[in-house]
Amino acid sequence: MDIAELTAEQFTSREGPPFDTDHLDRLMDEAGLDVLVINSKHNVQYLLGGYRFFFFDAMDAIGVSRYLPVIVYAKGRAQDSGYIGNTMESYERDLGKFWMPSVQTKSWTSQTSAELAVDHIRKLGLETRRIGVEMAFLPADAFLVLQNGLPGAKFADALLPLERLRAVKSPRELKLLREASEKVVDSMMAVISTHGPGSSKRQMVEALKREEVARGMTFEYCLITAGQSHNRAPSDQIWQQGEVMSIDSGGNYKGYIGDVCRMGILGEPDSELIDLLGEIDAIQMAARQPIKAKARGGDVFSPALAILDRSLHKAYTHFTAHGMGIISHEAPRLTSNGFVPYPGYDEDRPLQTGMVISIETTMLHPTRGYIKLEDTVAVTETGWTGFGDGGRGWNRGGAAK
């Protein structure tokens, strides 16, 4: 079943898996995996069509352990999938939030979740097969339960097949990512336009949080600078007349990240500032040129770096690009030399329609401050489309608050 074919109502019903099970089976076959034990919030969310249990949305810890949702998925046997959740998720089960026939809502600890996963795998007769787990997200006590309960199994990391499953976004996901980006930009414009001399970075971050929440988002973070400083932490530093400000924020909208950076200024930008942001804009737009389905992933860097290599500011300017979606820095992984370290799996592979890429150029100017643009674009058959492309110039600050 193709995720793109399902309606919003079907995403939270028992009508079937809200993802392409044949695709996942092929990815598991390529990875040599027979069973998946999935417990990260982002992958559970994806495989359940956007579901996150509201009670543990902000924090996993409770009592002496933690919330650990688990999906058990066997290759070629989607109908035998099982979900293991917290006792209070029985309420969600009654509302039809789970598509799998086996739903056990009786866990208050990570060990109990693992024990129930072991039982489910044994009932499927797969206790000696190759099992994929999320090594970076599986608690040690839960992994020990799996190892002890399934001594004949071989365990491997399931990161790659699960990441590749999420790499191409459905029309529904693309709509959410567009809305997420637009809502973050709109929030930034509202904050910049209503804050002026005397406003602190901390005050502006709090205002941004309110703006994002008012637009139906979950505020995740804001990296903010003012004046000549390159320090991006919220603080009591005051935004002064004539100073620049960068606001880089991630807001979560229905499980998808809007992550953009925009620039503000108190007063009017002088010719140097216009040129500096213009150069960053030129790098950003050049990076979009190669983007289209079947283009080599790493080619996103070539035209951007060509401009940067000729720049008088190249010593303190950095360009990068990475995938976006349920998490920041997901597939496509376009470089092995990014700020966030991981291998560039997609550098020499073709881009696919529906992939989403974040493009960012950062200048740490020694006298004018931190100047940056970060944009989000989606890959199409013939090129790209930008999400949340407003406010990419110098945005004027407003009255003091």
pTM as predicted: 0.93
- The reported pLDDT for the residue numbered 4 is 34
Query: Please, are residues 394 and 373 in contact by the beta-carbon 8 Å criterion?
Result: no
State the DSSP H helix or E strand holding residue 154, giving kind and residue range, or none if neither.
strand 154-157
Among residues 251, 232, 238, the alpha carbon closest in space to that of 186 is found at: 251
| Annotated domain spans of the chain | 3-167, 171-396
Contacts for 170 with CB less than 8 Å, ≥ 6 apart: 2, 3, 4, 354
State residue 334's pLDDT score.
Answer: 97
Tell me how far apart the alpha carbons of residues 211 and 186 are, in angstroms, rounded to a whole number. Answer: 8
pLDDT in tens, 95-133: 999 999 999 999 999 999 999 999 999 999 999 999 999
CATH code of the domain made up of 171-396: 3.90.230.10
pLDDT confidence tier of residue 339, bands split at 50, 70 and 90: confident
Quote the tokens at residue 186. Answer: 């709109």
pLDDT at 16: 86
Q: List pLDDT tens digits, range 311-333.
A: 999 999 999 999 999 999 999 99
Confidence band, pLDDT 50/70/90 cuts, at residue 14: low
pLDDT value of position 193? 97
pLDDT tens digits for range 143-175 = 999 999 999 999 999 999 999 999 999 999 999
- Tell me the pLDDT of the chain averaged across its residues: 94
* CATH 3.40.50.150 holds for 3-167: no
The residue with greater pLDDT, 57 or 258, is 258
CB 351, CB 293: distance < 8 Å: yes
d(CA 117, CA 84): 7
Angle CA 24–30–35, to nearest 5: 55
Q: What would the DSSP string read from start to end of 70-118?
A: EEEEETT-GGG-EEEEEGGGHHHHHTT---SSEEEEEESSHHHHHHHHH
pLDDT at residue 273 tops 90:
yes
Mean pLDDT of 259-285: 98
In this chain, the answer to whether the domains covering 3-167 and 171-396 adopt an identical fold is no
Over 50: is that where the pLDDT of 12 sits? no
Neighbouring C-beta atoms of residue 54, cutoff 10 Å: 11
Position 257 pLDDT exceeds 60: yes
10 has pLDDT over 70:
no
Residue 338 has pLDDT above 90, yes or no: no
